[in-house]
Amino acid sequence: MEHIIFKHVVNLGDLISVLPGIRHLYETTGKKAIIYQQLHRPGEYYIGAEHPTKDEKGNAVCFNQQCFDMMKPLLLAQDYIDGFEVYSGQPVDYDLDVVRQQIYCGAPHFPLHKWTWMAYPEMGCDLSKSWLFGHNYAKYQDKVFINLTERYRNYNINYFFLKKYEGKIWFIGTRKEHELFCNAWNIEMPYFPVIDFLELASVIKSCKFFLGNQSFAWHLAQAMHVPRILELYPFAQNCTNFGANGYEFYHQPQLEYYVDKLFNEL
């Protein structure tokens, strides 16, 4: 089978955001994708941003070997992807890094999912349809998963109100993120570990609803259109919900309204 070959260089969430365009090319050409991921590109973020992905020397990078190993099972579970390999100079049809070399791709405010379309308009597609497969596990249908990272946060928001939901909410993400969140808001919340990102996508797909900020875990929730609430980062709002079941907020009353709504309606 003939393939379409892609090179991707930046972060986990960015990779999930380009998948709808990759799937669209498969639907229009019948050619499955092979994706080459560059590792250890330096992470370039806003001043003061903290990101958990590091290289062996502790430097911030966009994608390391652990990210690659955890991502591979998820991508190979998609029916439009035939391969996911480390980039080492292979020829490609679509260099997705070109997007950030455009005079203007929409950064930092235009929706990340559409940045690719600025360079490759043939990848433009309907974002109201889910584009990611995950298993559906009935045992997680009553769980609410929360992931709030150190980067892209709205510090006008507080989460003390979640104490009344203790016993009903679980944290997914890194152990450091879990510790910081629980300590900041005096909340007892179990940590939910996963083996790889296929498992992470599957538990998110199966849950009652998801609450998070502009991060990889939210990208998974968006890609599968599970009920989801997004904390918007006021200074770089490059994520937004497309399709059904999505809510976002800037202010405290909106957040508490949506959490109560999803707890009681679903």
Q: What is the pLDDT of residues 69-79, one digit of tens each?
A: 999 999 999 99
Contact 225, 246 (CB under 8 A): yes
Rounded Cα–Cα distance for residues 210 and 219 (Å): 11
**Predicted pLDDT at 61:** 73
Structure confidence by residue, pLDDT tens digits, 152-205: 899 999 999 999 999 999 999 999 999 999 999 999 999 999 999 999 999 999
Structure confidence by residue, pLDDT tens digits, 63-101: 899 999 999 999 999 999 999 999 999 999 999 998 877
Structure confidence by residue, pLDDT tens digits, 211-238: 999 999 999 999 999 999 999 999 888 8
- What predicted TM-score, i.e. pTM, was given to this entire model? 0.93
Domains in the chain (CATH in brackets) are 3-123 (no CATH), 138-265 (3.40.50.2000)
Residue 4 phi, psi (nearest 5): -105, 130
Rounded Cα–Cα distance for residues 237 and 43 (Å): 19
**Predicted pLDDT at 1:** 62
pLDDT level of residue 58 (50, 70, 90 thresholds): low
Residue 169's alpha-carbon distances to 52, 149, 187, 199, in angstroms, are 23, 16, 10, 18
Helix (H), strand (E) at residue 3: strand 3-8
Q: Where are the alpha helices (DSSP H) in 30-127?
A: 65-76, 115-119
What integer best gives the mean pLDDT of the chain? Answer: 92
Residue 214 DSSP code: S
**Predicted pLDDT at 50:** 61
